[in-house]
């Protein structure tokens, strides 16, 4: 019997609840090491850096949600990306999207490039990717939608190119979560998540995931994971397991709110640009309808000036001014000083990220309260900045 994704968020297929005294909430195995009955008699668990039952339960759960054969749970999303980058060697070339989370760009520029890996960035949703592939290209790395510009790349079409050239396709699926999109089903080789975001869903745990469908790739990543030692601790693993229980209902509500907010922003005179793939005018709208089951809960928009943007940040009340995303509470972020602060200014400008740009992670509050909060913040900002629609 094949279960729906809503059911899979609650139940791990083949799991035996009686193995843990009938505990419905999976136990936290808060231990560093495991005792053996005798020489060569392991329970399957030896040392928590290598494996832990609570983390293993989470890994199986995320693997089944992403339709992979294995998932590795890391202590952060950046640790997951860092471990995946250890698959490559000096002299290898990786093609990356030009619009990525600033922390990923920083890792590639300051750590991986120093170790001899070559990177080329390009707007992957708009170019002929084959023109950027070289003899030493080993992977293509992207987000879709991208952070924060919401660019959407056709993953199935891109996968046909990467398979033709026998290179890896690595997709960060954080913005949509496995509830809305499954890149492995579209041809990706590795799927990454900042589990801190929609999977955990409550702004109370830091985690990262790498999911694969190829046994050889699984074995190599497991070896790197064991060697580099950035495994997720048991308590945070339990927090993410708990968060996944409500993934479906949270994503549905957050997306409903996001669609209403995007429409409001698109009609508000204080807003000069709205980027949300659920708006029919978005260039990635049709691709999203084809490769995803929803449009997500992330919106990027612009206001008239830097001063206006700062005034909005300082006068929202229900929406919180914070740097994360994907939780039950709505958060608003200023990319140029927060998520993308280490990205050079010319790159920001080329990608369309300005001092007027704001990013909104939509939560599950009452949508009229969210709209009202933005409306009053815009009005206050207009008063402070002396802005009028005629201006």
Structure tokens at 353: 């990220």
Is 45 labeled as catalytic in the residue annotation?
Answer: no
Spot the catalytic one: 101, 141, 179, 276.
101
Is 101 labeled as catalytic in the residue annotation?
Answer: yes
Structure tokens at 98: 């030009």
Is 49 labeled as catalytic in the residue annotation?
Answer: yes
Q: Which residue matches tokens 């745990």?
A: 205
C-beta separation of 369 from 264 below 8 A = no
Is 197 labeled as catalytic in the residue annotation?
Answer: yes
Q: What is the DSSP string of 149-160?
A: T-----HHHHHH
C-beta separation of 260 from 371 below 8 A = yes
Which of these, 237, 236, 222, lies nearest to 83 by C-alpha position?
Answer: 222
What is the rounded CA–CA span in Å between residue 268 and residue 272? 9
Spot the catalytic one: 55, 138, 197, 218.
197
What is the rounded CA–CA span in Å between residue 103 and residue 105? 5
What is the rounded CA–CA span in Å between residue 85 and residue 105? 12
Spot the catalytic one: 49, 222, 242, 289.
49
Q: Specify the pairing of strand 70-74 against strand 208-212.
A: antiparallel
Spot the catalytic one: 70, 97, 154, 172.
172
Which of these, 182, 169, 244, lies nearest to 7 by C-alpha position?
Answer: 244
Q: Mind telling me the catalytic residues?
A: 49, 101, 172, 197
């Amino acid at each position: 019997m094949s279960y729906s994704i809503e059911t899979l968020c609650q139940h791990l297929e083949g799991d035996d609840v009686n193995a843990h005294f009938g505990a419905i909430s999976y136990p936290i195995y808060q231990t560093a090491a495991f005792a053996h009955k005798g020489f060569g008699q392991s329970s399957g668990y030896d040392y928590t850096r290598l494996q832990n039952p609570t983390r293993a339960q989470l890994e199986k759960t995320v693997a089944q949600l992403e339709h992979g054969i294995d998932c590795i749970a890391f202590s952060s999303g950046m640790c997951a990306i860092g471990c995946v980058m250890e698959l490559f060697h000096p002299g290898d070339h990786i093609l990356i999207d030009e619009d990525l989370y600033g922390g990923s760009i920083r890792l590639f520029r300051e750590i991986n490039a120093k170790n001899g890996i070559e990177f080329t960035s390009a707007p992957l949703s708009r170019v002929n990717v084959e023109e950027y592939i070289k003899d030493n290209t080993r992977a293509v790395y992207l987000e879709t939608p991208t952070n924060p510009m919401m660019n959407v790349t056709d993953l199935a079409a891109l996968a046909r190119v990467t398979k033709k050239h026998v290179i890896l396709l690595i997709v960060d699926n954080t913005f949509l979560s496995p509830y809305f999109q499954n890149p492995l089903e579209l041809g990706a080789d590795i799927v990454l998540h900042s589990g801190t975001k929609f999977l955990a869903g409550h702004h109370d745990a830091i985690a990262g995931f790498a999911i694969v469908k190829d046994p050889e790739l699984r074995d190599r990543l497991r070896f790197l994971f064991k060697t580099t030692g950035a495994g997720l601790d048991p308590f945070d693993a339990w927090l993410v397991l708990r968060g996944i229980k409500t993934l479906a209902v949270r994503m549905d509500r957050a997306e409903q709110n996001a669609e209403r907010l995007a429409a409001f922003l698109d009609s508000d005179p204080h807003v000069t640009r709205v980027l949300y793939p659920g708006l029919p005018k978005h260039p990635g709208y049709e691709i999203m309808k084809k490769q995803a089951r929803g449009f997500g809960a992330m919106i990027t928009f612009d206001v008239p000036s830097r001063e206006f943007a700062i005034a909005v940040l300082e006068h929202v009340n229900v929406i919180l001014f914070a740097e994360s995303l994907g939780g039950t509470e709505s958060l608003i972020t200023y990319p140029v000083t927060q998520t993308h602060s280490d990205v050079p200014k010319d790159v920001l400008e080329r990608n369309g990220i300005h001092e007027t740009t704001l990013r909104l992670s939509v939560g599950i509050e009452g949508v009229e309260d969210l709209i009202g909060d933005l409306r009053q913040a815009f009005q206050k900002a207009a008063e402070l900045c002396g802005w009028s629609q005629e201006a």
